[in-house]
Amino acid sequence: MSEHFTPESQPTHPRGLAPESQPTHPRGHVVSWKVYLGIFLALCALTVVTVVVTGYDFGPFNLVVALGVAITKATLVVLYFMHARYSPKLTGVVIASSLAFFVILVFLTLTDYVSRPWPLS
């Protein structure tokens, strides 16, 4: 498919000296609809996987497996449906920092709960 169009006004406007406003990928990148269909089918397949694996007991790794599948699915959505793969680096930075702060919230809160010497109730 030849549906690329790079905005032609790029060199004329009096801005754009800042590094991140010059994306490494051409803007307006159009992905074939077949990619979306493929991702949709992959997501459906992974949904089946996440149900099937609950038939097996991995002991303490049950949660790890469930989250692993969910993270894979979420990554596919972010990269392809949300076009993060074709977006400027800055998009990745925003995603990464929100996840980092979420991890800080959960991890540091859990440091308290896993090291309490007494039961709660």
Instruction: Find the binding residues for another protein in span 65-94 (CB under 8 A).
Output: 66-67, 69-70, 73-74, 77-78, 80-82, 87-88, 90-91, 94
Q: How far is the CB of 24 from another protein (least distance, A)?
A: 13
Among 24, 25, 44, 86, binds another protein (CB under 8 A): 44
Among 25, 61, 89, 110, binds another protein (CB under 8 A): 110
Size of the site for another protein (CB under 8 A): 72
Q: How far is the CB of 35 from another protein (least distance, A)?
A: 9
Determine, following the binding rule CB under 8 A, whether residue 104 of this chain makes contact with another protein.
yes
Among 54, 61, 64, 85, binds another protein (CB under 8 A): 54
Query: How many angstroms separate the CA atoms of 49 and 87, rounded?
Result: 29
Query: How many angstroms separate the CA atoms of 69 and 49, rounded?
Result: 8
Query: How many angstroms separate the CA atoms of 98 and 101, rounded?
Result: 5
Chain centre to alpha carbon of residue 6: 26
Site for another protein in 3-22 (CB under 8 A): 3, 5, 7-10, 12-21
Chain centre to alpha carbon of residue 70: 11
Q: Which pair of tokens denotes residue 113?
A: 């709960």
Query: How many angstroms separate the CA atoms of 56 and 45, rounded?
Result: 18
